[in-house]
Amino acid sequence: MYALVINCGSSSLKFALIHAKERNTVISGGAEQLDTPEATLSIKYHGEKVKNKLEDPTHLGAFKEVFQFLQKEGYADKIKAVGHRVVHGGEYFQESVEITPEVIDIIKKCAPLAPIHNPANLTGILAAKEVLPDLPQIAVFDTAFHQTMPEEAYLYGLPLEIYEKYNIRRYGFHGSSHRYITERTASILDIPLEKLNIISCHLGNGASIAAIRGGKSVDTSMGLTPLEGLMMGTRSGSLDPGLIPYLVECLDYDIYEMDNLLNFDSGLLGISGVSNDCRILETKAKEGHKRCRLALDMFGYRVAKTISEYLPALQRLDAIVFTGGIGENSAYVRELIMSQLAFLGYRFSNPSNSFCTGGKEGVIATSSNFGKALVVCTDEEGMIVQDTLEIVAQKEKQASSIDSTVEQ
Q: 79-86 and 137-141: which strand pairing?
A: parallel
Q: Which of 106, 105, 84 shows the shortest CA–CA distance to 96? A: 84
CA distance 266 to 243: 14
Find out whether 337 is annotated in a ligand binding site. Answer: no
Angstrom CA distances, 276 to 268, 303, 326, stand at 5, 16, 11
302-331 per-residue burial string, b: 16 or more CB within 10 A, e: under 16: bbbebbeebeebbeebbbbbbbbbbbbbbb
Q: CA–CA separation, 161 vs 165, rounded Å?
A: 6
**Does residue 328 have a known ligand-binding role?**
yes
Q: Is 279 annotated as a binding residue?
A: yes
Per DSSP, the residues of 151-198 read HHHH--SS-HHHHHHH--S-----HHHHHHHHHHHHHHHT--GGG-EE
The reply, when asked if residue 7 is annotated as ligand binding, is: yes
Tell me, what DSSP letter sits at residue 140? E
Q: Is 329 annotated as a binding residue?
A: yes
Q: Is 318 a catalytic residue?
A: no
Contacts of 189 (CB under 8 A, 6+ apart): 196, 318, 319, 372
Bridge partners of 348, per DSSP, are: 365
Of 171, 288, 299, give the one whose Cα is nearest residue 233.
Answer: 299
CB < 8 Å & 24+ apart, contacts of 53-59: 57/33, 58/34, 59/8, 59/13, 59/31, 59/34, 59/120, 59/123, 59/124, 59/127
Cross-strand partners of 374? 321, 363
CB–CB of 29/43 below 8 Å?
A: yes
Beta strands across the sheet bearing 362-367: 216-220, 207-213, 197-203, 319-323, 371-375, 362-367, 347-348
Is 204 within any annotated ligand binding site? yes
Residue in 134, 142, 219, 297 annotated catalytic = 142
| Kind and range of the H or E run holding 212 | strand 207-213
Between CA 184 and CA 198 the distance in angstroms is 11
Those residues with Cβ within 8 angstroms of residue 34's Cβ, 6 or more apart along the chain or in another chain: 11, 12, 13, 54, 57, 58, 59, 62
Question: Is 327 annotated as contributing to ligand binding?
Answer: yes
Is residue 316 annotated as involved in ligand binding?
Answer: no
The answer to whether the annotation marks 202 as part of a ligand binding site is yes
Point out the annotated binding site. 7, 14, 85, 202-206, 277-279, 325-329, 380
Q: Binding site for substrate, residues?
A: 85
Residue ranges for the known binding site for ATP are 14, 202-206, 277-279, 325-329
The residues annotated as belonging to the active site are 142
